[in-house]
Amino acid sequence: MESDDEMIDESMEDDFCDLSDYYDDPNDNENDSYSNDDDDYGFVEDVDDDDQDGAVSRRSQLGYTVLKEADIKQRQEDDISKVSTVLSISRVDATILLRNYNWNVSKVHDEWFADEEGVRQSVGLLERPVVQVSDARELTCGICFDSLPRETITSAACGHPFCRACWRGYISTTINDGPGCLSLRCPDPSCNAAVGEDMIDKLATAEEKKKYSRYLLRSYIEDNKMTKWCPAPGCEYAVEFASGSGNFDVSCICSHSFCWNCTEEAHRPVDCATVAKWILKNSAESENMNWILANSKPCPKCKRPIEKNQGCMHITCTPPCKFEFCWLCLGAWAEHGERTGGFYACNRYEAAKQEGVYDEAERRREMAKNSLEKYTHYYERWASNQLCYQLKLYMSTVKHEASCAYNDRAKVGKANNLNG
């Protein structure tokens, strides 16, 4: 299957005035990148717990599987056990290997059996210490340089000695910095030895261990090209997508439907590239520029855009410019008067217009107006649809929370009845 970047990596046009590339005729199906055959298309409706198996079956038929946290943990543990057993290494080392190869078990096996020494060197799995620590009763910490009792000194597989206090500070800082702690290495700048979960369990606080475990769990989804988190706010489900499926629309258990390819709201039959252009257009300054071009003219002196919505043709630019000019021909107002048509007309403009002097400027302004009207037409409908969808998602969330609360109360009531 192609990567996400390859799927939506298309050149974006810079000309925002011409929207013909962004908005096709609703009745024109020639540019649809999806087949009009709807046999493989459908959303999974909200289901009760009793119908969960049926929902999973339908999702499997559509080419994807929704994973709960327990499912993710089980798959992660199975992969770690598989690598640990086949390669005859510890679970800690197997976890480090899988992390470095994006949790791809097959790739780990292929690389390991092709060049075990090279793999060990690249990921930091040392077979023996690179530093021989003396048998002295006191050792010097490589960070604080204090001489401390041997039992307060610990090291990774490389053997570099550091005191527990420095180790705790080092581990705490990296975990609080984010998921980069999963690639933790020996504090010695010249050492490449990996620091595994065993050191975290031995030296980190309970809160830090919880964060590390969370990062590790999330990496199983985020580093895998075939799985993604559901983008709905607050949703903790993930979706595994089957390679080769032509329909990217998926429906999570939380009732949120989205495109697995670009993670935007489900948009079939519109292709992801068009959706990306639409989102860019809504977030960029292009429509501001279109509005300025359609509804204003630049001051002939300072070029600042000026909007005229009423009054005569005598325009005075704002300070510090203060240039006075005619709105129609943009000439200096000092050259205008009764002989040129007064305050509400301009003979010079009419004469020049007949000669075609303003044809290009008028054409551009007319294009901008048409573009703005077309964009507004589609944007209002899109915004209305977004509002309705967000309301539907909110109501679904409230309904789910209320159902969970009711079930919890029912269980408590049943337990009290049994105890009574």
Which secondary-structure segment (H or E) carries 239? strand 238-241
pLDDT tens sequence across 57-96: 445 556 888 999 999 999 999 999 999 999 999 999 999 9
pLDDT for residue 135: 80
258 against 347, higher pLDDT: 258
Determine the Cα–Cα distance for residues 125 and 212; give it in Å rounded to an integer.
20
Q: Please give the pLDDT value at position 357.
A: 65
DSSP per-residue letters across 30-88: TT-SS-S-GGG--PPPP--GGGHHHHHHHHHHTTEEEE-HHHHHHHHHHHHHHHHHHHT
What angle, rounded to 10 degrees, do the helices at 91-100 and 69-87 form?
110
pLDDT class for 138, splitting at 50, 70, 90?
A: confident
What's the pLDDT score for residue 36? Answer: 36
**How high is the pLDDT of residue 290?**
65
pLDDT of residue 328: 83
The catalytic position among 158, 230, 302, 312 is 312
Contact partners, residue 60, CB within 8 Å, separation at least 6: none
In whole angstroms, give the CA distance from residue 139 to residue 150. Answer: 6
List, in order, residues 6 or more apart from 287 with CB less than 8 Å away. Answer: 16, 281, 372, 375
Query: Over the chain, what HEC string results?
Result: CCCHHHHHCCCCCCCCCCCCCCCCCCCCCCCCCCCCCHHHCCCCCCCCHHHHHHHHHHHHHCCEEEECHHHHHHHHHHHHHHHHHHHCCCHHHHHHHHHHCCCCHHHHHHHHHHCHHHHHHHHCCCCCCCCCCCCCCEEECCCCCCEEEHHHEECCCCCCCEEHHHHHHHHHHHHHHCHHHHHCECCCCCCCCECCHHHHHHHCCHHHHHHHHHHHHHHHHHCCCCEEECCCCCCCCEEEECCCCCCCEEECCCCCEEECCCCCECCCCCCHHHHHHHHHHHHCCHHHHHHHHHHEEECCCCCCEEECCCCCCEEECCCCCCCEEECCCCCEHHHCCHHHCCCCCCHHHHHHHHCCCCHHHHHHHHHHHHHHHHHHHHHHHHHHHHHHHHHHHHHHHHHHHHHHHHHHHHHHHHHHHHHC
Which residue has tokens 């949120």?
256
Per-residue pLDDT for 13 more than 90?
Answer: no
Higher pLDDT: 246 or 27? It is 246
User: What pLDDT is stored for residue 59 in this prediction?
Assistant: 52
For residues 217-231, average pLDDT:
91
pLDDT in tens, 359-402: 666 777 777 777 777 777 777 777 777 777 677 767 776 776 77
- Please report which residue ranges of 186-284 form alpha helices under DSSP H: 197-203, 206-222, 272-283
Q: What is the per-residue pLDDT for 91? A: 94
- What does the longest C-alpha to C-alpha distance in the chain come to? 107
288-338: pLDDT as tens digits = 666 766 677 888 888 788 888 888 888 898 888 888 888 888 888 888 888
The beta-strand segments (E) located in 87-209 are 138-140, 147-149, 153-154, 162-163
Please report where in the chains the tokens 């998926």 appear, as a residue.
Answer: 250
Determine whether 312 is an active site residue: yes
Identify the residue whose tokens are 């048509």: 341
CA 289 to chain centre: 27
Note whether 184 and 171 are within 8 A (CB): yes
